Amino acid sequence: MDSNNQIKDLGKSLQQEQKILLATLPLLEEKEVSKFQEQEIQLLKMTAADSFFNSGLILGITLQSNIREAVQLLQEALKLKTELHGEGKINEAKEMHQNSLRIIEIEFPNENYLQIDHYNGLGLIYRDEQQFEKSLEQFNKALELQQGITEEQQNEIKQNGTEFYYPQYETLVNISSVYKEQENFEQELENG
Q: Hey, which of 32-36, 139-143, 150-154, 173-177 has the most confident mean pLDDT? A: 139-143
Give the residue from 89, 103, 91, 90 showing the smallest Cα distance to 164.
Answer: 103
Task: Give the domain ranges of the chain.
Answer: 1-109, 111-192
75-125 pLDDT, tens digit each: 666 666 666 666 667 777 787 788 778 877 877 777 777 788 889 889 988
47-78 pLDDT, tens digit each: 555 555 555 554 444 444 455 555 556 566 66
Assess contact for 149 and 56: CB atoms under 8 A: no
